[in-house]
Structure 1
């Protein structure tokens, strides 16, 4: 079990490393894309976490009984994972980063409810705490080893809070990485990529493909995305 988990962790870091090389150029660890655009992975973590928080009905003036969109929250956690891994890869090889990430896995004392009740509205500040802690930590201006480990700890606490297993994170990450790579290959940066396929967003198509075959390989998923895109 442990070796299987390490293998999957290494695979994710290697895929993220390759995606960054392909999309940003080989010097991305120095903080800039091949076009000279500044890269700030920690700011990316902050902004993606803000998007996650918007899946809560936290606004006191709008849709106050709306609850949470747990499925979208889990997808946002995978988006955050892309940036957490990218940040770690600035300092470590995929193999080193994978071992550190495994060692920092933590559980959360806070768990999001699967079904929302009126009483949960009064707990909104408590339920948001893991995510706001992650966001606040990502704003700290340091990069030392202890800080990097703490950032991973806060991330894993968020994963646990949203009731997401490691294997679920792995499957969704493989899917999102494949989709991101697919987008880049089909003109995402150039603005020629079509995000809507037959009236459905590509993220929705991805979810359907993963549901059809949860054990689909990375290459197999790319092939299925290609087929669906051509038919759109």
Structure 2
């Protein structure tokens, strides 16, 4: 099992990821808080969660014995994390809430490992949470689900954050960026090897050092010039 952060560590990690997300949002749009609404983040989470659900063989009329595409589940879960961080930073409705209902909903995420039907119910609840602007609860659920799935979402976040920077450098906002390389591989697929050997315990214990190694790996994969690269410290300014 991965090293899952305790409550204090999770709070500290979320604060660091929030700083990174805020910096990326400013890079994309310096006035992002003025130009975006909570509904924007809720809609983004809804659509990313729908894409995640498509990773499961939920269609009872088509290929019901197929395994879930867990690589894509990981990528979509990290995308949900990006948007939940943004919504929480802009002012979600549930900051600091630790109600019994919220705790029960959080505990229910364990069902993701039981089967397709149960997993989809968990994700449909995330859509409802986002619609109610409960971004802090969505954040906690994302980390809980990652622990149930046994994967390192902190490292995945840093890798995808770096890819999002690469995309912006390549003209993503202007629709000139190519997500598929000449060999036919999507850019998301190229992230898995960048973090394959990194444990959750390592990045929790040395966020800056291990985070910088992930940034370097991703920048190297996409051949980004040195003068366009950032470091963890730079992203957290």
Shift of 1:31: 3.4
Matched position secondary structure for 2:124: helix
* Residue 227 of structure 2: aligned partner: none
After superposition, what is the alpha-carbon deviation per residue over 1:196-229, rounded to whole angstroms, capped at 9, x for unaligned?
Answer: 3452222122111111455563443333333322
CA RMSD of aligned residues (A): 3.3
Change (3 A) 1:187 1:217: farther
CA contact 1:28–1:39 (8 Å) conserved in 2: no
* Residue 208 of structure 1: aligned partner: 193
The higher relative CO (CA closer than 8 Å, separation ≥ 6) is in 2
2:35 to 31, 52, 65: 31
2:169 to 185, 191, 195: 185
Aligned 1:4-153 pairs, distance under 5 A: 4-25=9-30, 27-32=31-36, 40-91=40-91, 100=96, 106-108=106-108, 110-113=110-113, 120=115, 124-140=116-132, 148=134, 151-153=135-137
Matched position secondary structure for 2:128: helix
CA contact 1:6–1:102 (8 Å) conserved in 2: no
Change (3 A) 1:195 1:188: same
Q: Which ranges in structure 1 are unaligned for 5 or more consecutive residues? A: 115-119
Runs of 4+ aligned residues of structure 1 deviating over 6 Å after TM superposition are 101-105
Q: Does 1:222 align with 2:215?
A: yes
Q: Which ranges in structure 2 are unaligned for 5 or more consecutive residues? A: 1-5, 204-208, 225-237
Shift of 1:136: 2.3
CA distance in 1, matches of 2:177, 2:129: 34
CA contact 2:56–2:69 (8 Å) conserved in 1: yes
CA contact 2:110–2:145 (8 Å) conserved in 1: yes
CA contact 2:113–2:149 (8 Å) conserved in 1: no
Q: Which structure dedicates a bigger proportion of its chain to helix?
A: 2
CA contact 2:48–2:76 (8 Å) conserved in 1: yes
After superposition, what is the alpha-carbon deviation per residue over 1:73-105, rounded to whole angstroms, capped at 9, x for unaligned?
Answer: 22211110111110111128xxxx7xx499977
* Residue 117 of structure 1: aligned partner: none
Change (3 A) 1:70 1:49: same
